Amino acid sequence: MKIHEYQARDLLAKAGIPVPAARVVETAQEAEKAFEENGFPLQVVKAQVFAGGRGKAGFVKLVKSAAEARAAAEFMLTHRMVSVQTGPEGIAVNKILIAGAVDIAHEYYLGFVLDRDRSTVSMIASAEGGVEIETVAHERPEAIIKEPLHPLAGMQGFQARRTALALGFTGKQANTVADILLKLSRFFIDYDCSIAEINPLVLTKDGKILAIDAKVNFDDNALFRHPDVLALKDDAETDALEIRAAAANLNYIKLDGDIACLVNGAGLAMATMDVIQLHGGKPANFLDVGGGVKAEGAIEAFRIILSDKKVRGILVNIFGGIARCDLIAEALIQAGREVGFKVPVVVRLEGTNVEAARKILAASQGDLPTLQVAGDLNDAAKKIVSATR
Ligand code: GDP
Ligand code: MN
pLDDT, one tens digit per residue, over 131-164 is 999 999 999 999 999 999 999 999 999 999 999 9
DSSP-assigned beta bridge partners for residue 14? none
Spell out the CATH class of 1-20+103-237.
Answer: alpha beta
Contacts with 271 (C-beta within 8 Å, 6 or more apart), sequence order? 377
In 150-213 the beta strands, taken as DSSP E runs, fall at 193-204, 209-211
Contact 46, 59 (CB under 8 A): yes
109 is catalytic: yes
Per-residue pLDDT, 109: 98
Using only C-alpha atoms, the chain has a radius of gyration, in whole angstroms, of 25
Question: How many Å lie between the centroid of ligand 2 and the Cα of residue 219?
Answer: 21
Confidence of residue 296 (pLDDT cuts 50, 70, 90): confident
pLDDT in tens, 166-217: 999 999 999 999 999 999 999 999 999 999 999 999 999 999 999 999 999 9
- Ordered DSSP codes for 64-104: SSHHHHHHHHHHHHHS-B--TTT-TT-B---EEEEEE---E
Number of the ligand closest to the Cα of 44? 1
**3-state class of 44 per DSSP?**
strand
Dihedral sign, Cα of residue 33, residue 38, residue 44, residue 49: negative
Q: Is the pLDDT of residue 100 over 90?
A: yes
Q: Is the pLDDT of residue 322 over 80?
A: no
Calpha distance 49→156 (Å, rounded): 34
Question: How many Å lie between the centroid of ligand 2 and the Cα of residue 130?
Answer: 6
Residue of 104, 106, 133, 202 best suited for mutating to test ligand 1, as the one with most atoms within 8 Å of CB? 104
Q: Are strands 144-148 and 120-126 parallel, antiparallel or unpaired?
A: antiparallel
Query: Looking at residues 62-86, what average pLDDT do you find?
Result: 96
The answer to whether domain 1-20+103-237 and domain 240-388 are alike in fold is no
Burial of 317 from C-beta contacts in 10 A (0-12 / 13-18 / 19+): buried
**3-state class of 318 per DSSP?**
strand
Among 105-109, 125-129, 290-294, 352-356, which stretch is predicted with the lowest mean pLDDT?
290-294
pLDDT in tens, 228-256: 999 999 887 777 888 888 888 889 998 98
Confidence of residue 323 (pLDDT cuts 50, 70, 90): confident
State the pTM of this model: 0.81
Contact 197, 180 (CB under 8 A): no
Per-residue pLDDT, 218: 97
Contact 124, 199 (CB under 8 A): no
Contact 364, 371 (CB under 8 A): yes
Q: Is the pLDDT of residue 258 over 80?
A: yes
Active-site residue (options: 5, 6, 107, 109): 109
**3-state class of 163 per DSSP?**
helix
Tally: H helices and E strands in the chain: 14, 16
Per-residue pLDDT, 314: 96
Mean pLDDT, all residues of the chain: 94
Domain ranges of the chain: 1-20+103-237, 21-101, 240-388
Residue of 35, 44, 136 best suited for mutating to test ligand 1, as the one with most atoms within 8 Å of CB? 44
Per-residue pLDDT, 154: 96
Question: How many Å lie between the centroid of ligand 2 and the Cα of residue 369?
Answer: 51
Confidence of residue 99 (pLDDT cuts 50, 70, 90): very high
Per-residue pLDDT, 123: 98
Per-residue pLDDT, 240: 81
Q: Is the pLDDT of residue 87 over 80?
A: no
According to CATH, what is the number of the domain 240-388?
3.40.50.261
Q: Give residues (CB < 6 A) around ligand 1.
A: 44, 46, 52-55, 60, 62, 101-102, 104, 107, 130-131, 199-200, 212-213
Cα 388–chain centre separation: 28
How many CB atoms are located within 10 Å of the residue 140 CB? 11
Per-residue pLDDT, 243: 83
Per-residue pLDDT, 55: 95
Contact 17, 202 (CB under 8 A): no
The share of the chain scoring above pLDDT 70, in percent, equals 100
Calpha distance 211→110 (Å, rounded): 9
Query: Looking at residues 342-360, what average pLDDT do you find?
Result: 93
Per-residue pLDDT, 169: 98
Q: Is the pLDDT of residue 291 over 90?
A: no
Residue whose C-alpha is closest to residue 360's, from 387, 388, 336, 325:
325
Per-residue pLDDT, 345: 95
Q: Which of 185-189, 220-224, 234-238, 298-302 tops mean pLDDT?
A: 185-189
Among 35-39, 87-91, 163-167, 316-320, which stretch is predicted with the lowest mean pLDDT?
87-91
For domain 21-101, say whether CATH 1.20.120.10 is its number. no
